[in-house]
Structure 1
Amino acid sequence: MAMSMTGYGTSTSHLENTMLTVEIRSVNHRYLDFTAKIPRFFLFLEDKIKKIIQSYFGRGRIEVYISIEGESFVKKTVKTDWDLMDQYMDQLGKAKSRYHLIGDIPAEILAAIPELITIREAEEYPDGLKDAILTCTKEACEQVRVMRQEEGVFLSNDLEERLNTIYNIVSLLQTNRIRVMEEYRERIQKRIRDHLDDNTVDQARVYQEIVLLAEKGDITEEVVRLLAHIEHFRGTLNTAEPIGRTLDFITQEMHREANTIGSKSTDTEISAYTVSLKREIEKMKEQLQNIE
């Protein structure tokens, strides 16, 4: 059964005073394209998240959004380089004595000296948050997959209907093929009779030319191949594997056969059927852009 590439899923988890939310959006794409917006201090999980996505989906643009609300995970601490401060104080004392300076050394001067007093950040987060992110990612993937499967059922039904329409058109082409060939032969014979004397023409050669000209307009092979493509399409549509690329290739082959029929035929009825055939194939190709 076909699976759509459009879907959405979300999962939340509460740990202590923290709320985790994982959102996943899936849209059409020729290949599997993964992007993630993850808080900086959990970027190390990106590769594991990507592997989870790859285990669920084969095609589509997958966007993962992870948000964490609650108490800040960044704990700030003040660090003083006392050895460096001792050197500064020693040098400032010498400067006062050397230049006969009066007054105390303001504390603001020490605070403004680079690398003397620094603020360090340490990341702390509730136990189990890393595992919760991966679990919520899987749960959101499940929701996306269910939505893609539901949409896939609709797409499969639509493709089945279009495939039946195409089959009916090809059947009409097959039915009219014999009529057209007979009319073609009669038209060639009439033109020969109108322009040549039957007594001066090699009849065997005439019929040979008729056969050669008739074969140029014969669409038997194209019709047979179209019927084979229809069966291949229907069989592929009912498989469980990702089928979008395979079905797209089949429709390209169907379109090629339809073009050949259109270039061969001079019959207005068959030409009309060919136009309808190509239109249905184009509509089918458009729908296939939504299938994984």
Structure 2
Amino acid sequence: MIKSMTSFGRAQSEEGKASCFSIEMKSVNHRYLDINIRMPRTMLALEEKIRSIISKKLNRGKVDVFINYKNYGNDVGKPKLNMELAKNYYECLKQIQKELGSIDDISTTKIARFPDVINLEEREEDLDNIFNEISPLVESALSLMEEMRGKEGEKLKEDILSKAKIIEEYVGEIEKVADNIPKHYKKKLEERLSELLSGVDIDESRIALEVAILSDKAAVDEEITRLRSHLSQMRSTLDLNESIGRKLDFIIQEMNREANTIASKSTDVDMTNKVIEVKNTIEKIREQVQNIE
């Protein structure tokens, strides 16, 4: 199944628990798999385990993971007083009061508000229990992301196939124009020579030679064959049940290369305009492919 790289997933713990976790994931297109995890500092040791779960399910994309944790229990930690620091703050305040002759407004509350006088001593977390709690949530959020990726991927597939059909139609028109170029050139060459050499016999063999030379230079049969082959490869690739973004990107590059070669050989305005339409449609497909996993 073709998958988009744009997706979102969310999961959280059941209500009523003492500890509540919520996980949000979002991803956008990226050349490789780039996972960024934001989580509480006390849980940083679990980052690699969480990263491993995600990398088993996703192949490409920039993935941002947000893990939030709330503890509604009583054992959330206890305050710890740094009395020595509080005394130092007090002495400093007394010195300021003495030097400036200010009113005595020193209070216990003010001293307690100074940095690091009172710190919350967090209890040590049981990381094994936390991982057992959040790993199913990570899996659940990933499932939602994969579901969204699949739906978006199907839309991309439909759009790419419709554009491939447009390219195929233009290629057919280009082929018809290319087949008629030698005939048109021969006719114009004969008319021009008749004007310039009025009353003088025209060497038909020389005209045939000139037409043959132009036909060889303007021949785009090989390019058209390869372009159609690439379109066929694109369709078969879209049906693969694997990561196909990079493969499609390569096919698009090759299609663009063939279109450029046809444009460089074109000696007909109508043919050139059709090649421009082909290149324009290829570019639209390329933009869509950038978002395919």
- Could you state the TM-score of these two structures normalised by the residue count of structure 2? 0.78
For residues 44-82 of structure 1, give each alpha carbon's deviation from its aligned partner in whole angstroms, at most 9, with x where no partner exists.
1111111111111111111111111123765347699xx
User: Which stretches in structure 1 are left out of the alignment for 5+ residues?
Assistant: 81-117
**Equivalences for 1:26-41 in 2 at 5 Å?**
26-41=27-42
Matched letter for residue 75 of structure 1: G
CA spacing shift, 1:190–1:218, aligned 2, 3 Å: farther
d(CA) in 2 for partners of 1:55, 1:262: 44
More deviation in 159-168 or 184-193? 184-193
**Equivalences for 1:125-204 in 2 at 5 Å?**
128-191=129-192
More deviation in 164-173 or 6-15? 6-15
Aligned counterpart, 1:108 = none
For residues 113-156 of structure 1, give each alpha carbon's deviation from its aligned partner in whole angstroms, at most 9, with x where no partner exists.
xxxxx986431359732211111111100100000101111111
d(CA) in 1 for partners of 2:47, 2:128: 19
Matched letter for residue 179 of structure 1: N
More deviation in 266-275 or 42-51? 266-275
d(CA) in 2 for partners of 1:199, 1:267: 29
CA spacing shift, 1:193–1:6, aligned 2, 3 Å: same
d(CA) in 2 for partners of 1:63, 1:37: 8
Aligned counterpart, 1:13 = 13
CA RMSD, 1 decimal: 3.1
Aligned counterpart, 1:106 = none
CA spacing shift, 1:124–1:43, aligned 2, 3 Å: closer
Aligned counterpart, 1:24 = 25
Q: Secondary structure at the match of 1:11?
A: strand
Q: Secondary structure at the match of 2:282?
A: helix
d(CA) in 1 for partners of 2:218, 2:49: 59
Matched letter for residue 11 of structure 2: S
**Equivalences for 1:1-292 in 2 at 5 Å?**
1-14=1-14, 16-71=17-72, 74-76=76-78, 121-124=122-125, 128-191=129-192, 207-292=208-293
- Could you state the TM-score of these two structures normalised by the residue count of structure 1? 0.78
CA spacing shift, 1:79–1:258, aligned 2, 3 Å: same
Matched letter for residue 242 of structure 2: E
CA spacing shift, 1:127–1:56, aligned 2, 3 Å: closer
User: Which stretches in structure 2 are left out of the alignment for 5+ residues?
Assistant: 83-118
More deviation in 253-262 or 190-199? 190-199
Q: Decide whether the 8 Å contact of 1:181 with 1:218 is kept in 2.
A: no
d(CA) in 2 for partners of 1:119, 1:63: 30
Q: Decide whether the 8 Å contact of 1:79 with 1:120 is kept in 2.
A: no
TM superposition shift of 1:209: 3.9
d(CA) in 2 for partners of 1:224, 1:257: 10
d(CA) in 1 for partners of 2:227, 2:125: 64
d(CA) in 2 for partners of 1:51, 1:164: 40
TM superposition shift of 1:219: 1.5
Q: Secondary structure at the match of 2:77?
A: strand
Q: Secondary structure at the match of 1:122?
A: coil
d(CA) in 2 for partners of 1:200, 1:8: 74
Matched letter for residue 31 of structure 2: R
d(CA) in 2 for partners of 1:119, 1:260: 70
Q: Decide whether the 8 Å contact of 2:77 with 2:120 is kept in 1.
A: no
Q: Secondary structure at the match of 2:123?
A: strand
TM superposition shift of 1:273: 1.2
Matched letter for residue 178 of structure 1: D
d(CA) in 2 for partners of 1:49, 1:188: 73
Query: Larger C-alpha radius of gyration, 1 or 2?
Result: 1
Q: Decide whether the 8 Å contact of 1:75 with 1:124 is kept in 2.
A: no
TM superposition shift of 1:260: 1.8
TM superposition shift of 1:285: 1.1
Matched letter for residue 48 of structure 1: K
CA spacing shift, 1:138–1:195, aligned 2, 3 Å: same
